[in-house]
Amino acid sequence: MSCYVSYTMNIRLFALPLLLVGLLPALGWAQSAAGDFQPASSNLPGAEYPKIAPDSRVSVRLKAPEATKVQVQGGDGLQKDPLDLVKDAEGNWTGTMPSAGPGFHYYWFIVDGVRVNDPGSDAYFGYGRPTSGIEIPTPNEDFHQLKTVPHGSVREHWYRSTITGKWRRAFVYTPPGYDENPKKQYPILYLLHGAGENERGWSLQGHMSAILDNLIAEKKATPMLVVMDNGYALVPNEAPANTPGDMVKRAATLEQVYLREIIPTMETAYRTLPGRENRAMAGLSMGGLQTMLIGMKHVDMFSHYGFFSGAIFGDMLADPKTAFNGVFADAKAFNNKVRVLWFGAGSEEKRFVEMAADARKKLGELGIKSTYYESPGTYHEWHTWRRCLHEFAPLLFK
């Protein structure tokens, strides 16, 4: 049983202020003095803080008059270690984080040892909970922002899972013209999120729909459906994944959910082109791991693969000839079946750069062809994965 709720621009409303970011240089913002901080585009309406300077420093403020110590901390590319804030006479704690990397970042306050969100900023699901987020302007880069082009829709699709015994939710992107052309069929990309996040990440933090809309309008990408399902699936009484080893084990349940429920449900509810040549799978971090664990076992079902900062542990390919039921043993057969085998990572997330290099080296020694992209100056963060999708999507279904 399944049902969906359709909405065309609801998710994009979050990204609407980002359209203004691309206009800021023209308005003179970029030419302001280094100390000229402006409210972040991701702030809640009317919120003065956090503020961003033209050199990407971030000023934060939290009113906590009874607190004895307040710090601010963020994800990769923002503020790795807690930064002590200073209290004024009115009980406001303020501080400035050094130059932040481009794009979206999670962050939070630590008030007397307790982690709390910023009441001035919107919250997004990350680190396993709703977490404050901030959007840092990206000079001369607008591929992920809303533009005046035809827009697709993102639909909220619920279905009942007999494997997990629960209702599950997917967000499904349908390209521009999908409803206007009821006889047209499309290829489909299954796009997976990372650990601690959920099925909304690619639409909200990742700006997936704006990226695809823009690429399709520029005729750089084939119009396609994109399914973004939840990357966690447990049978009743199964323990959750808490370690990398657990992630590998738990992927077996998710594999069955994909094969028996997600793919049949989505490809019945939406107009998809038949055959493995019209089906792709890609994911970021944990989603890259799941793409490897699920996708490589089923090259009879998928023909395009993307690993965005994929958590591809070395022992998975310790003997690449026998890994995944020997799928890599015959390089010629593999290369003929798999049209795209793509790896991407941020230049500053060294561990994931190394994992991608190790996987490609082992596969390359067998004659397996692959492609690599490195996002300059980004960490294990959403702007890396936005760029990865922007580079990967044009290669699909050609």
Residue 255 to residues 200, 231, 292, Cα–Cα distance (Å)? 20, 10, 11
Question: What pLDDT shows up at residue 53?
Answer: 95
Tell me the CB-side half-sphere exposure of residue 51, using CA atoms within 13 A.
16
Question: What pLDDT shows up at residue 315?
Answer: 86
Spatial distance between the Cα atoms of 306 and 224, rounded to a whole number of angstroms: 15
Question: What pLDDT shows up at residue 332?
Answer: 97
Inter-residue contact 98 to 57 (CB < 8 Å): yes
Do the domains at 23-136 and 153-395 have one common CATH topology?
no
Question: What pLDDT shows up at residue 328?
Answer: 97
Residue with tokens 């709720």: 5
More confident residue, 80 or 117: 117
The 3-state DSSP class for residue 284 equals strand
308-332: average pLDDT: 93
Spatial distance between the Cα atoms of 230 and 201, rounded to a whole number of angstroms: 10
Q: What is the pLDDT of residues 241-277, one digit of tens each?
A: 677 677 787 899 999 999 999 999 999 999 999 999 9
> Which CATH number is 23-136's, of 3.20.20.70, 3.40.50.1000, 2.160.20.60, 2.60.40.10?
2.60.40.10
More confident residue, 239 or 71: 71
- Homologous superfamily of the 153-395 domain (CATH): Alpha/Beta hydrolase fold, catalytic domain (3.40.50.1820)
Residue 262 to residues 124, 243, 311, Cα–Cα distance (Å)? 24, 25, 23
Inter-residue contact 37 to 55 (CB < 8 Å): no
Q: What is the residue-wise DSSP string for 334-398? A: HHHH-SEEEEEEETT-HHHHHHHHHHHHHHHHTT---EEEEETT--SSHHHHHHHHHHHGGGTT-
pLDDT band with cut points at 50, 70 and 90 for residue 390: very high
Question: What pLDDT shows up at residue 238?
Answer: 82
Total residue length of the chain: 398
Domain ranges for the chain, please list them: 23-136, 153-395
Angle at 76 between CA 57 and CA 288, to 5 degrees: 145
Residue 303 token pair: 């023909």
Spatial distance between the Cα atoms of 200 and 349, rounded to a whole number of angstroms: 23
**pTM, rounded to two decimals:** 0.89
Residue 246 to residues 251, 257, 356, Cα–Cα distance (Å)? 8, 17, 21
**Above 80 in pLDDT, residue 240?**
no
The 3-state DSSP class for residue 72 equals strand
Q: What is the pLDDT of residues 345-377, one digit of tens each?
A: 999 999 999 999 999 999 999 999 999 999 999
